[in-house]
Structure 1
Amino acid sequence: MHFSLLLNSALILFSRLASASTSSYKEQLLLRPLPQNALLASFNFKSNSSSTSFEQQNFRYFPRSLGQILQHAHTKELHLRFSLGRWDAESWGARPWDGAREGGTGVELWAWVESENDEEANARWLTLTNALSGLFCASLNFIDATKTIRPVMTFEPEGIHPKGAMDKLQLLHGTLPHEVVCTENLTPFLKLLPCKGKAGISSLLDGHKLFDAAWQTMAIDIRPVCAADGECTLEIEHTVDMVLDIARSKRPRDNPIPRPLPIEQMECDTSKSYHGDDTCFPLHKSSEPAWSVSEVFGHPLKGSCTLSDTETTTESICVNVPSDRTIDVKGAFNISQSSHNNDNLRCFTLPTDGSDFDLSFPEQTLQAPTTLQKPNLYAARSITGYGQERGGIQAVVSNPSPTSAVSIVYLESLPWYMKPYLHTLRAVISPTNANNGHQNKSKSRSTEDNLNPVKETYYRPALDRHRGTHLELRLEIPASSTLILTYDFEKAVLRYTEYPPDANRGFDVAPAVIRLLSSRETEGGAPGMYLRTTSLLLPLPTPDFSMPYNVIILTSTVMALGM
């Protein structure tokens, strides 16, 4: 949690300043080098508006287009995610923001809608998804009743709502795992920012770099923040996280073909028997690679966003690197430095005169390697079985902590044509440390029979072509243990008109959402800790769509030959 704490601590002043006035805007970029020549870039933009100005449609920093949609759909809190790729927890460590600003593959949306009954909530939810679909050029209008659920344990409001307001709010959640996130979604995302990607840190958000990343997610969070005296502000937060390959990002756009280094510049393993003047087994460099912001993102930062609050000086770009890492700065700046849990954070203030700003990191051998923050959980999910009639799901969740047990909420949102057998649900706990010896293994077997990791279950079965399956489990995982969750399901037979054009590819199943329960979530407005698995590809029985075409061709050929 070290880097996530650094992210939060770096934004504490930033958040307080953003909420101090009735309407303010702040932005910040945090960079953290990762192993295997990767770079994590976290962009954060935060602005707010008073509830009075919002109700009167007096928008300054809050985007008018999004604000009018919220008013028309009676939405009090909204969370939207666009995600691509997979976070490699074993290589990159813990997720940024503890996974709270991360979504499943594709598009994920959940919101609290004000309504008197379920029918009114569904109608306003449909209005919200259709309006957001047009705003972000996405297929959010396909989030219908078959892709919508109402979670009961997984999500909690991040905002501080007025007293008694939660009684009339209903939570709805929908996913589109098949949605392909592209520049058509980035362009309207940037238009919601005050500087619209023309200045400040948003000028680094280029589609060629963002969608070439190994993992990226775009998040929009809108929540109310009400004080004890009843005065409320509406806060909107834009977050963009990406993991870039430094060597790949440094390639020129007009000639991106990778080329090997000359052999005299390569570090070779001379112990190999085949080593020679023209043969080299390359070694991984022990030094940190050289890179700069302009090389990785294609151009330097174009000054600061002049719309940001200039009454106080805040750092706009921070770098989390060891204290002995050399940084060359181009442009006027102020610097501040802080340390937390052996991590060093250096922050810089962008120039206000519109001049370019750049950071350069020369190739350097560090005295101590960069330490990774270990994740709180590891999770993986896969489809088991074979054949066209039945199958199974296996989810493996590991708790690496040697001392503390964890409580989690496991959420599955399955399509209606994937019908699980709840009586086949099995949850088995096994120790992850293989060096405990036979005695510890026998103890784990004896306690396994008395230990039921499933503490609470919520299940809503599917209705064909009307709604999907909703499954939520509250689970307890002991220290240094792995939870293996399995169940069987049956595949439904679709009508031929319900198959997509690429029917033989399979059908996408939304990722599972895992919420790690902790005492930190009891604090007002504190986001939870989340983890999402990868999406699944479900093969279904597919008819031979080419048969009518073949029959027509054969019949036409016979008739032509006969005539």
Structure 2
Amino acid sequence: MARFPRPTISLFLILSFQIIFSAIAFGSDFQESDEEEFSEELLLRPLPDLKVLAHFHFESRAPPSLSNSHGRHHHLFPKAIAQLVQKFRVKEMELSFTQGRWNYDRWGGFDPISSSNAKPPGVELWAAFDVPQYLVDASWKNLTHTLSGLFCASINFLESSTTYSAPEWSFHPSSGSLRYGTLPREAVCTENLTPWLKLLPCRDKAGLSVLMDRPSIYRGFYHSQQLRLTSPEFEGRLESGIVLKQTLTVVLQPDSQRASNTYSSETKLQPSWSLSSIFGRKVTSRCVLAKSSNVYLQLEGGLVTELENVQKENVISWIDNVGSEGWRTNPFFDLSVNPDSVLREVNGLHGSSSSVLYKYSVAKYSDSRPFDLGLTWKSPVVWSCPQAPLHASRFLIGSGNERGAIAISLISTGSNEHFLGANIVEDRCKLEVDIFQVVPWYVKVYYHTLRVFVDGQPQAVTDVVEKMRVSPSEDKVSPGVMELVLKFPCDIKSAALTLEFDKGFLHIDEYPPDANQGFDIPSAIISFPNFHARTHYFEDNSLKKSPMLSMFQEKSRVRSYSEVLLVPLTTPDFSMPYNVITITCTAFALYFGSLLNVLRRRVGEEERFLKNRAAKKASRLAQLLSMLSAKIRGKKWEPPQSPSASSSFISLKLIVKVVLVTGIAIAWQYYSQ
């Protein structure tokens, strides 16, 4: 047998090891580029009305299905969401559960959080599908049933064609394959939050999610939990897989006695707070499965401007004085924890100063050293949040149960001249406003009655409405949909739109249990397509790894939701059917009861039973009385042989008669002698 020389064997082994190590390194690089990722972040922001905004942001990424070596198995990404996307071919979806209403006047309306995370009360769901047009409605119905079971909610009520609509161009660019529906009266509770937390790798056992104490969250003024997913694979982009973003936005009132200290008639000292005071818990460690775990404290541009105006005499601003503890101790507030870095916004809004962002990394904290960020105010500060160009509100006009009108009011916030989004057409500045409104079928809107008022003066509809799409409602089939594109002059002060409607009649089976409360008209969506809310900070290595800050840098259309309208309809007297049913059932019970009693009675057996019972109950006293009566009458006493049913026993009245006759006979016999 031939043998290879030792140098040849050594060279062969060296080459083999090099090939194996190269393959392992290549495979590890490929796996690292296609592995699943998860990140958690928290943004805290003081608000002008003595409240605190807390915005949780969790993001999970799954590799493309074609490059996923694990197939349908996932390590970090929730399997239920992946199956939902693949089953119904969902390109994009957004689901929100909201309690309370976002205060656009005090909490802002021109920032990424207010434009993307301020949602209407109840449940809002919209989804775009990658299926043929004739299968969109079927996919929507199946999706609503799946989400209803997944989040323990009544989302399956959106399967009816009377509860959802198909917007074309005013709501989302995915026309044709998009469906939109809302449930304004859906109650939000912990049964919806618990399934939402189960989608996180660490749930609420570790990381930033441990701060989600149920009593602390649900006693807030506003909270909205949102789930948004995108699947670029259906659009032909294979560089990324499914992206799931889970956000929870909460507005809380800190418990601080110092907030009541009044410095003047209009200013109050901001309440001091910490994570343990507003949530009742501290962050002990990060989620070990998270790629990044950061906490941010944001000071809005209006607040920074107010603080800098007070410090005009200083040559160096306290914000820029990072090296000399200016970010921790200053004349206005103190921070309990030193930030890891300070980020400054590139371009501020409204001509004000740029906002400031303090960054904290949770990875260096542990059980022995928990993270408890606190902010202590030392002097009162008054500022305002950035507002949208127009403040929108909606209300009802008219009275009675027959007719009415819907009015949408748009009032200028006085900040139009500071924005650069206005469109210049023919040397005239125009402000574009999009309105999307869905009206239930039982509110019959007459769209030809649309009237437009600008600064209190009526205007021709053709002069203001540039584009309009109307889909009239069909009884018990589909709701009414209206999409408008309005063009107002940039120096507008106020505007109003009115639409008349008639109130329909419902069948008794179509009324809800609380029919006297009224019926809801979902919130209208008012958006400004030429205005985009974005917050861009100076680039650094850590910023590129932050999904939340990257999302803030994206252009998002400024959008606001109006109030939910409560329309009273003609309600029947539900007690009358109850009375009719009760009387009818009583009459039938008496009639059929008597009839069955007659038909089922056996006369012979009853007589035999009565005779036997009478014979057993015949008393000795009755026999003695009968013998005495026979002797008085001078007749021979004979025992009764077979007493009849009518004389089977001697009643009390008969005994009294016998005793009375006996007494009379004895007295007559005594006096006659």
TM-score under structure 2 normalisation?
A: 0.66
Deviations 1:46-85 (A, max 9, x none): 1211222679323233211122112111211111111121
* Structure 2 residue corresponding to 1:547, chosen from 576, 585, 589: 576
* Structure 2 residue corresponding to 1:471, chosen from 463, 476, 482: 482
1:486 lines up with 2:498 in the alignment: yes
Relative to 1, partners in 2 of residues 1:242 and 1:556: Cα closer, same or farther, differing over 3 Å?
same
Q: Tell me the equivalent position of 2:45.
A: 32
Q: CA separation in 1, counterparts of 2:556 and 2:231? A: 14
Relative to 1, partners in 2 of residues 1:416 and 1:123: Cα closer, same or farther, differing over 3 Å?
same
**How far is 1:393 from its partner?**
0.2
* Structure 1 residue corresponding to 2:297, chosen from 294, 318, 322: 318
Question: Aligned letter for 1:424?
Answer: T
Q: Tell me the equivalent position of 1:375.
A: 388
Q: CA separation in 2, counterparts of 1:417 and 1:327? A: 57
Deviations 1:60-111 (A, max 9, x none): 3321112211211121111111112122222223265242233221111111
Trace 1:42-53 onto structure 2 (pairs within 5 A): 42-52=55-65
**How far is 1:186 from its partner?**
0.7
**How far is 1:528 from its partner?**
2.4
Q: CA separation in 2, counterparts of 1:559 and 1:190? A: 56
Relative to 1, partners in 2 of residues 1:205 and 1:122: Cα closer, same or farther, differing over 3 Å?
same
Question: Aligned letter for 1:516?
Answer: F
Unaligned runs of 5+ in 2: 1-31, 305-318, 320-329, 423-429, 535-550, 590-673
Cα RMSD of the aligned pairs, angstroms, is 3.4
* Structure 1 residue corresponding to 2:464, chosen from 429, 432, 453: 453
* Structure 2 residue corresponding to 1:68, chosen from 76, 83, 86: 83
Q: Give 3-state SS (helix, strand or coil) of 2:86's partner.
A: helix
Deviations 1:130-174 (A, max 9, x none): 0000001111100021111111122335xxxxxxxx79x711111
Trace 1:432-443 onto structure 2 (pairs within 5 A): none
Q: Give 3-state SS (helix, strand or coil) of 1:130's partner.
A: helix
Q: Give 3-state SS (helix, strand or coil) of 1:146's partner.
A: coil
Q: CA separation in 2, counterparts of 1:229 and 1:127? A: 26
Relative to 1, partners in 2 of residues 1:315 and 1:354: Cα closer, same or farther, differing over 3 Å?
same
1:234 lines up with 2:219 in the alignment: no
1:22–1:233 CA contact under 8 A, matched in 2: no
Q: CA separation in 2, counterparts of 1:20 and 1:213? A: 41
**How far is 1:402 from its partner?**
4.1
* Structure 2 residue corresponding to 1:338, chosen from 340, 344, 350: 344
**How far is 1:34 from its partner?**
1.0
Question: Aligned letter for 2:453?
Answer: V
Q: Tell me the equivalent position of 1:243.
A: 251
Q: CA separation in 1, counterparts of 2:249 and 2:166? A: 27
Q: Tell me the equivalent position of 1:407.
A: 432
Return the index of the structure with the highest Cα Rg: 2
Trace 1:135-534 onto structure 2 (pairs within 5 A): 135-143=150-158, 144-156=160-172, 170-225=177-232, 230-247=238-255, 286-309=268-291, 315-320=294-299, 322=304, 323=319, 324=330, 325-329=332-336, 334-339=340-345, 341=348, 342=353, 343-352=355-364, 354-355=366-367, 356-366=370-380, 369-400=382-413, 401-403=415-417, 404=422, 405-430=430-455, 448=459, 452-481=463-492, 482-518=494-530, 520=532, 526-534=555-563
Q: CA separation in 2, counterparts of 1:207 and 1:171? A: 34
Deviations 1:241-274 (A, max 9, x none): 1211223xx6xxxxxxxxx99xxx96599xxxxx
Q: Give 3-state SS (helix, strand or coil) of 1:316's partner.
A: strand
Moved more, 540-549 or 352-361: 352-361
Question: Aligned letter for 1:113?
Answer: F
Q: Tell me the equivalent position of 1:104.
A: 120
Question: Aligned letter for 1:184?
Answer: E
1:70–1:128 CA contact under 8 A, matched in 2: no
Higher RCO (CA-CA < 8 Å; seq separation 6+)? 1
Deviations 1:504-541 (A, max 9, x none): 00111110012210275999974322111111111110
Q: CA separation in 2, counterparts of 1:103 and 1:238? A: 14
**How far is 1:420 from its partner?**
0.2
Question: Aligned letter for 2:74?
Answer: F
Relative to 1, partners in 2 of residues 1:240 and 1:521: Cα closer, same or farther, differing over 3 Å?
closer
Relative to 1, partners in 2 of residues 1:333 and 1:529: Cα closer, same or farther, differing over 3 Å?
closer
Q: CA separation in 1, counterparts of 2:43 and 2:408? A: 33
**How far is 1:288 from its partner?**
2.1
Identical residues among aligned pairs (%): 32
Q: CA separation in 2, counterparts of 1:418 and 1:142? A: 19
Q: CA separation in 2, counterparts of 1:62 and 1:514? A: 34
Relative to 1, partners in 2 of residues 1:429 and 1:244: Cα closer, same or farther, differing over 3 Å?
same
Moved more, 513-522 or 24-33: 513-522
Relative to 1, partners in 2 of residues 1:459 and 1:22: Cα closer, same or farther, differing over 3 Å?
farther
Question: Aligned letter for 2:524?
Answer: A
Query: Which of the pair is proportionally richer in helix?
Result: 2
Q: Give 3-state SS (helix, strand or coil) of 1:386's partner.
A: coil
**How far is 1:379 from its partner?**
0.6
1:222–1:235 CA contact under 8 A, matched in 2: yes
Relative to 1, partners in 2 of residues 1:339 and 1:150: Cα closer, same or farther, differing over 3 Å?
closer
Question: Aligned letter for 2:251?
Answer: V
**How far is 1:421 from its partner?**
0.4
Equivalences, count: 488
Relative to 1, partners in 2 of residues 1:525 and 1:460: Cα closer, same or farther, differing over 3 Å?
farther
**How far is 1:315 from its partner?**
3.4
Q: CA separation in 1, counterparts of 2:140 and 2:211? A: 34
1:399–1:479 CA contact under 8 A, matched in 2: no
Q: Give 3-state SS (helix, strand or coil) of 1:426's partner.
A: strand
Moved more, 47-56 or 508-517: 47-56
1:25–1:47 CA contact under 8 A, matched in 2: yes
Deviations 1:335-365 (A, max 9, x none): 4343553322211111345332101222410
Question: Aligned letter for 1:365?
Answer: S
Relative to 1, partners in 2 of residues 1:182 and 1:68: Cα closer, same or farther, differing over 3 Å?
same
Q: CA separation in 1, counterparts of 2:365 and 2:261? A: 43
1:512–1:533 CA contact under 8 A, matched in 2: yes
Relative to 1, partners in 2 of residues 1:30 and 1:113: Cα closer, same or farther, differing over 3 Å?
same
Unaligned runs of 5+ in 1: 1-18, 158-165, 251-259, 270-282, 432-443
